[in-house]
Each structure stands twice: as structure tokens, then as C-alpha cells.
Structure 1
């Protein structure tokens, strides 16, 4: 076997292996200019039509947590259409506004901010707030993150 044949075989093998490796849902978000933290930890799979932008992301179950002063609820399946800097036609993500749960229908990236729309109003948040993925139940304020115990941290009072 010649050296050229070996190189050709190795090249073809590496192309086949890399074509079979699917990126994670979090990596896909980054391809579209979104931070990973707009999805909670625990996405178990996703589907994406790269031509239309239609996607579905799958969680192991429903997920609820606090983020800033907002309570968020993710259904087990989140759907929508993604394009560079824009998520639209969203379903499966709701936010509690006063006493009502309303659907987040669109997310847009505006420079270093994300604008979340519920249809009749929107709110802007700095992108750096979404550098880390929140965890179900405790959001970004979890203790013992490495060992599977995700109880919410209690606020420390200063005496």
C-alpha cells in the first residue's frame, strides 16, 4: 500500500466521521449568534431544518426556574424558527408576568442585548446574563452543581 493511498484513506475516514458528528443544541445557538444560556441545562436532543430554520429542542421533562425576577417555564418540547440573531414563532417557553403566564414568542439579538417579546410587550437583557445555562428548579443559583444536588441557594443575610 502506497503512502498516497494511506493518506487518501485517512482523509476519507475523517470526512465520514466529522459528517456523522452532530453539534449540540447549545453549539447551534452560537452559530446563530445566541448565547447558550437561553436554553436550560439538560437538552437531550434537537432537530433543525437548516433551509427553513424550523427547529425543535427536547428536554427530559418540563423545567421551571427563576431568572432575575422572572419565573420561566419550559415545556418538554420547544419549537420555533431560528435565523441569525432572531428566534421567532416560539412555542414551549412561558414567563410569569404579574399573575399570568404568557408565551415568549420572539427573541432578538440587539448588539449586546437580547430582546424577549411576549407579543404585547418586550424586555431587554444583557447577553452576559445568558453566558451560563440555568438549571431546572434553581436557575443560576444552585449549590453543589457538580454532584447532582441542585437545591436553590438561600440568600445570605448580612448582620
Structure 2
């Protein structure tokens, strides 16, 4: 065998010097892989951890997040945790809904077909999955028209609302 042939065989059998790395899925994509729509999480997730063996997870938002959707006041703590499996989130911590004057923790979310069931313990409510296709924004939910907009006035001053 010639030196050139040996070099060619070596190059073909060696791992590439430049490896293509596939970025890990986002928290929204990870939710979808377990059968949930991305809109269960608000816009602005900064990271997450997931133990695929146990299903234990933590999602990081960076700040407490509140908004109102369909008449429900929701609050997400800066860290949300729980256990995820196909079509089921259990042992949730960090998500609350205001019922009358009391904040109640949402402890479980399950999916059955096109329905999502959100449970606060002995009480649960069913919602059509289409209401969770988009992620709401902290502070304004889905009613974010002009939130954070900057207007340049004729006098050159800026107004932020």
C-alpha cells in the first residue's frame, strides 16, 4: 500500500475535525415533545433543565411574571418546577391562578385529546388546547398592543408606555 492510500484511509476513518453541534431544544420545543402546546409557558424563558430519566424539570423565566388571559389572573415565579411525562405535568411548583381573592397553586396539567386540564388540587378546569398555541407575554398576556412602544414626539422627546 502506498503512503497516499494509507493517508486516504486514515482520513476517511477519522472523526471530522469540525463537528456539527445541534443545539438542545428550547423549553417550548421540549414541552411539545411531551404533547403540550408551547403557550403553557410565557414568552421570555431564559433556560431550563430536564432529567429525561425521571422527568424532573425546572424552567427559568428570570423574574416573576403576571398576566391575565381569558379573565384568569396567572402568576409564574422566576423558577417553575415539576415532573413531566407524556401528556402530564405533575408536582408543579411556581404557577398560580387567582380565584376570587386567593392565589391557588396549579399543581397538575394533563392533556386528553384537544383538552387541557389544569388542577389546583381537588378542583380542575378544562380548556381547549387552541388557547395555548401562542405564548402570552408577562404583564399583558395577549393584549400587548403598543406595550413598550417608543414614540418620537415632534419636539424630539421620547415617550415610552
The alignment's TM-score, normalised by the length of structure 2, stands at 0.82
Which of these two proteins has the greater Rg computed from alpha carbons?
2
Distance 2:106 2:117 in 1: 10
- Change in 2 beyond 3 A, CA 1:4/1:137: same
Give the aligned partner of residue 8 of structure 2: 2
Give the aligned partner of residue 101 of structure 2: 99
Give the aligned partner of residue 69 of structure 1: 71
Distance 1:70 1:116 in 2: 12
Distance 1:4 1:98 in 2: 71
Shift of 1:33: 0.3
Shift of 1:88: 0.3
Q: Deviations over 1:19-48 (max 9, x none)?
A: xx2211001000000000000000001000
Higher helix share: 1
8 A Cα contact 2:62 2:79, kept in partner: no
Equivalent residues in 2 for 1:5-154, closer than 5 Å: 5=11, 9-10=15-16, 13-14=19-20, 17-18=21-22, 21-144=23-146, 148-149=148-149
Shift of 1:5: 3.0
Unaligned runs of 5+ in 1: 150-159
Shift of 1:13: 1.9
**Per the alignment, in what secondary structure is the counterpart of residue 2 of structure 1?**
helix
The alignment's TM-score, normalised by the length of structure 1, stands at 0.83
Shift of 1:12: 7.8
Structural RMSD (CA): 2.0
- Change in 2 beyond 3 A, CA 1:3/1:138: farther
Shift of 1:143: 1.2
- Change in 2 beyond 3 A, CA 1:34/1:4: farther
How many residue pairs get aligned? The number is: 143
